[in-house]
Amino acid sequence: MLSVTLDSVLNHHFQVVIPVTVGKPFKTVSDNGDVTNTISGTISASVNGKYPAPLYVNEKASRGGNVGGVSNYLLELDKAQSGGPVASFVYLRTVKLTRMAE
């Protein structure tokens, strides 16, 4: 499972949880009020316990705001990682990869 939390002027602590499979591309679109959030990417196989994950995130408000871009993550299971194209106190993405219970 991949959890993505968006904190920005368009989304305030908006979280999406996406089921993902290593090596298989995914895309989800989720609305938060008048903001349409698109998240896509591919989680690659683990290299030394880290999963390369280029993620595309776009936040588009019907009132005209639009923030988006690709960020490259090296995710470790159960460890949250923050960043994004404009990582600051005004705009932040937090990404966490967890294994589903079998």
pLDDT at site 46: 94
Q: What tens digit of pLDDT does each residue of 46-88 get?
A: 999 999 999 999 999 988 878 888 889 999 999 988 876 555 4
pLDDT at site 92: 75
How much is the pTM? 0.86
Q: What is the dihedral of CA 97, 7, 17, 23, to 10 degrees?
A: -50
